Amino acid sequence: MSIVVFLAFSEQLMRKYGKKILFYLIVLLFLLLPFIDVTKPFSGIILQKAMGNEDLHHIQKLRNSDLLDELIVIPEKVKDKDSLINMVRRINSIDRPLLELLVNQGVKIRLFEGNLTDEPLLYHLKWEKPRGWKKDVTWEDVPGSGGSWLISAKIGASMPGNGHGSINLELHEIGHTVFNLIMTNPDYTKEFQSSWEQEVHEMFYSEQYFINHTSEYFAEMFAYYYYSEESAAIIKLKAPKTYKFFRELKSLNFNKIPRNFY
């Protein structure tokens, strides 16, 4: 039994029955503590442990394989291995200094099958509505999440039309976490804010989601920049200041970002 499962269950009981049940939950926790796995904060195995699988072995040849081994978490048994490998290759395309930043911050990129909220750490989102989605959609229905130390992207849902409209799901979600890290520095915040205000309408003329939210613009531009040379060229043409920011991103002084930010 995972402790996060217990905590998620406890949260639901407290919502239903109020704080009076808190005492009994604490007692129950101590009774169950010897049987609770506190060493496994999320489900899946790191990519390095999956390298014994012949279908994944050639991922070791990627130029950033040492960092990917530490960053990426996958299911113990993967059904769609081709999609998984393609996702890993796209993550490998991110400039090495940014991947190093994520590793140093303790970030994990969870590539999953099933529902987002099957992950015990995200179970509490099961009935919550994500920003910008239709009223009848909850986090259980969306294929990815980012912005914190645990990034999630559904295997096989990379392309638009698979429950999202981003040019690429995994890069977009990683972009959210990079945004939160980079924007801890006021100078970087000011520079990107200026680019967003001047160029968001050129990239997304009538898409309020990006016009209203700086973080969504950053995440999508991050995905555009790293997805392909063709998509990066679109940024260069329509949003040259944004393009310049991402081109120089790998050279920023990441020592200005607080260690263990998450």
Residues designated catalytic? 173
127 vs 129: CA distance, rounded Å: 7
Cβ(223)–Cβ(172) below 8 Å: yes
What is the residue whose two structure tokens read 């005492």? Answer: 23
162 vs 29: CA distance, rounded Å: 39
Cα distances from 26 to residues 6, 21, 164, in angstroms, run: 11, 9, 40
76 vs 259: CA distance, rounded Å: 30
Specify the 3-state DSSP secondary structure of 109. strand
Phi, psi of 109 (to 5 degrees): -110, 110
Residues 6+ apart with CB under 8 A from 64: 92, 94, 96, 99
Residues 6+ apart with CB under 8 A from 160: 166, 167
218 vs 222: CA distance, rounded Å: 6
Cβ(196)–Cβ(217) below 8 Å: yes
Token code pair at residue 141: 């229905």
DSSP 111: E
Return the number of other C-beta atoms located less than 10 Å from residue 97's C-beta: 12
